[in-house]
């Protein structure tokens, strides 16, 4: 989809760690022809390539903290400036300063967030997903270890994520409640929030989400 369409969709995906933001974000963007950015995947790539950004990010990712807002906003400004149509953002904004930045950047370009989606999954289910998660180091596909030793998308050997210890997950979850909770409340107040039960099997959640946004396009 491009800006020449009547309603370019700009979707922000919110939710705790392992709620399915990456899984659903890639699916939605692929099926609706939208741009897609996972800030977490971008940071993990930088860590693995030992870039300056990666060296700065590594200790923060290791303890499950958030990177500084100003740094993340610069990364987003660069990415947004290269988009020509709608998109799905997975992992941004994660704090009120990031939400302010996004609103201001979009307003300055005559754009706005269309919907914010809050994926809701109980804590125990999140922990179970984290225990079994694997990620493809080549194409960033992510799934459950029980079923996949090789990436179904590109065939590379899949691995557990370095930040998927239970302690790291707990830290990320705390940061989510403390810093991202207010962002969800902000989108609710603005009438842009869609809360979505994301406990059903992955394909079911994908179909329902896709149906919800396909409606928004007509």
Q: How far is the CB of 26 from ligand AP5 (least distance, A)?
A: 8
Contact 54, 47 (CB under 8 A): yes
Residue selected from 23, 113, 158, 183 as contacting ligand AP5 according to rule CB under 6 A: 23
Residue selected from 22, 27, 141, 151 as contacting ligand AP5 according to rule CB under 6 A: 22
Is 28 one of the binding residues for ligand AP5 (CB under 6 A)?
no
Residue selected from 8, 9, 19, 118 as contacting ligand AP5 according to rule CB under 6 A: 19
3-class SS string, 68-100: CHHHHHHHHHHHHHCCCCCEEEECCCCCHHHHH
Is 142 one of the binding residues for ligand AP5 (CB under 6 A)?
yes
Residue 9 or 119 with smaller CB distance to ligand AP5: 119
Contact 33, 217 (CB under 8 A): no
Is 187 one of the binding residues for ligand AP5 (CB under 6 A)?
no
Distant-in-sequence, close-in-space partners of 207: CB < 8 Å, separation ≥ 6: none
Distant-in-sequence, close-in-space partners of 22: CB < 8 Å, separation ≥ 6: 38, 40, 41, 90, 140, 142
Q: How far is the CB of 107 from ligand AP5 (least distance, A)?
A: 19
Q: What is the CA radius of gyration of the chain?
A: 17
Residue selected from 47, 72, 184, 209 as contacting ligand AP5 according to rule CB under 6 A: 72
């Amino acid at each position: 989809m491009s800006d020449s369409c009547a309603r370019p969709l700009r979707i922000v995906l919110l939710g705790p760690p392992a709620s399915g933001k990456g899984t659903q974000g890639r699916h939605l963007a692929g099926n609706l022809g939208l741009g897609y950015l996972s800030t977490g995947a971008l940071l993990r790539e930088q860590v693995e390539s030992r870039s300056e950004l990666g060296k700065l990010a590594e200790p923060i990712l290791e303890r499950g903290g958030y990177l500084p807002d100003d740094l993340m906003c610069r990364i987003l400004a660069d990415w947004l400036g290269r988009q020509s149509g709608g998109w799905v953002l997975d992992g941004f904004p994660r704090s009120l300063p990031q939400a302010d930045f996004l609103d201001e950047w979009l307003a300055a370009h005559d754009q706005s967030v269309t919907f914010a989606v809050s994926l809701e999954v109980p804590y125990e289910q999140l922990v179970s997903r984290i225990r079994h998660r694997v990620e493809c180091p080549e194409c960033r596909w992510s799934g459950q270890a029980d079923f996949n030793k090789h990436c179904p998308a590109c065939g590379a050997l899949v691995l557990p994520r370095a930040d998927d210890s239970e302690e790291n997950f707990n830290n990320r979850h705390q940061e989510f409640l403390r810093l991202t909770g207010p962002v969800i409340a902000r989108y609710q107040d603005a009438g842009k929030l869609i809360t979505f039960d994301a406990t059903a099997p992955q394909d079911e959640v994908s179909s329902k989400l896709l149906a919800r946004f396909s409606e928004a396009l007509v």
